Amino acid sequence: MRGRTALVTGASGGIGRAIAVELGGYGADVVLVGRDENALTEAAAEVQARGGTARTIALDLTDAAAPAKLAEQVGEVELLVNNAGVAPGGPFVESDPAELQAMVALNISALTELTGLLLPDMVARGRGSVINLASVAAYVPAPGMAAYTASKAYVLTLSRILWAETRGHGVRVVAVNPGATLTAMNPRGTRTAEQVARRALGALSGSGPEVTEGRVNAVLGHLVDQLPARVAVPLGGWLMARFG
């Protein structure tokens, strides 16, 4: 990655920031994207302290025009990290429609469009990687987080298919499924953003379409995924309420 461009969305904090900083240690040219310009500047300084170069782009990816603007501004990308996302909770029937639309725009639409804009060039070059931050929630249909868990299931499924479509072209697409991670979005997390970042970048040297961070998370996620829906859904709700 030394001297090559890595684009990280949601880089102003949490897992995205940790991945950006970790990439600095590889000597990458890291483009940090997020809404909080001050936080991006602080994160960029950490990237530079680790030996990388850093550029910041303050951008709201829920804006329909944002992915195309971003792709045009950045140019050739060696690694795309689709990390930006939100996790609204509560019963679906009590959800704010505007909040749900913003979640779909960020968790699904922006990720899909940005990947669609950058992936063809990677295939044409015969080189490049995409890391999509899904979640162990992709395996766990959880009442109280209906839209969020569904969005992460989408990310996981898309990643699996893109992995299959591009693996013969020198391109690596992988979904990373963190469990409960200690971030501003989830103060009850049991894993650190730095642990997830190391697992995410380590996944680039693997061969499969997905990795789950944390052994317990992997076992629980895949176990729930194999259960009948009438068992998995209530259990998923309990797990998400208990561990977040």
Query: Which amino acids are annotated catalytic?
Result: 148
CA gap 230, 219 in Å, rounded: 20
Q: Burial letters for 167-194: b for 16+ Cβ neighbours within 10 Å, e otherwise?
A: eeeebbbbbbbbbbbbbeebeebebebb
Instruction: Identify the residue whose tokens are 């804009």.
Output: 117
